[in-house]
Amino acid sequence: MSSLAQSIFTMPVLPEVGHNDFERAARMLHKRAGIVLGDHKREMAERTLAMRARSMHLDQVQQYLDHLEMNPHSEHWETFVNAFTINHTAFFREHHHFGVLAKFARSRKKPFAVWSCASSTGEEPYSIAMTLRESCPAPDAGVTVLATDIDTRAIAAAKEGMYSLERAKPVPEEYLRKYFQRGTGRRAGMVRVKPLLRDMIQFDVLNLLASDWPVNQKFDAIFCRNTMIYFDKATQTKILERFATVMKPGGLLFVGHSENFTYLTKAFQLQGQTVYVAC
């Protein structure tokens, strides 16, 4: 028998996926994280669920879901949610937002605080921090960024602040020299954020659907871009109205290019292209 044939016959069989496992998992994910798992993702989701069940040495996906439901504080909830989060991001994505932020920051009094509430692997909060360092006088005092995400792996990567030169392409060359260290040896082709930028940012894991947000300050601006599209309208409205409670008067909310919340709440008023102001 060829080595290829042997590898096929020795591949571990994935646990059984039941008829209703996808729908059950979708309900659980929505309840836990607010994420709507569309039917078009069924095949991907069922394979993901089967792989998670196999990692726990279970024979059926149903057993995996039973474990989660019976153990709300299980460590396996973390990997369950992580498996369905999407971490598509880039430095200075939707570039016009950073021009608006720079102008706004110059017009506000300190302390000046920004919350990147779906910060993924860090490109967004580091772009915010660079913008603030360039636009605020004496940015080392009274200028802060809170960066949160539900995905624990993404937050760990964001804290590390290491990226390939390819991913750092959108960063202006001047900023690369000022705010990043270039890797050498084994890390050639990589860059790492310098401490003067990382020290402006507090990273934390946060679920926007949690009953309590571990936030003890008011924000001048909140970035919540391309995140609400994964929530239903009721969840979007709830989160928007909670944002309003942690914003300073006249604060700005930055959203994604495909998101429109004009008719969901009176807490925010559209000010410009995908920028809302707190009423």
| Token representation of residue 26 | 């979708």
260 is in an annotated binding site: no
Chain CA centroid to CA 219, Å: 18
Give the C-alpha distances (Å, rounded to integers) separating 217 from 208, 220, 241: 16, 10, 16
89 is in an annotated binding site: yes
226 is in an annotated binding site: yes
196 is in an annotated binding site: no
149 is in an annotated binding site: yes
- Order of strands across the sheet with 275-278? 201-205, 143-149, 112-116, 219-224, 247-255, 275-278, 268-272
Nearest to 37 by CA among 19, 49, 52, 22: 22
59 is in an annotated binding site: no
Rounded to whole angstroms, the Cα distance separating 84 from 114 reads: 26
Q: CA Rg, the chain, in Å? A: 21
Q: Which residue has the tokens 């989660």?
A: 68
Cβ atoms 204, 147 nearer than 8 A: yes
207 is in an annotated binding site: yes
Residue type, 161: G
Contacts of residue 150, defined as CB under 8 A and 6 or more positions apart, other chains included, come to 33, 81, 85, 118, 205, 206, 207, 208
> Which residues participate in the annotated binding site for S-adenosyl-L-methionine?
87, 89, 93, 124, 149, 207-208, 225-226
> Which residues participate in the annotated binding site?
87, 89, 93, 124, 149, 207-208, 225-226
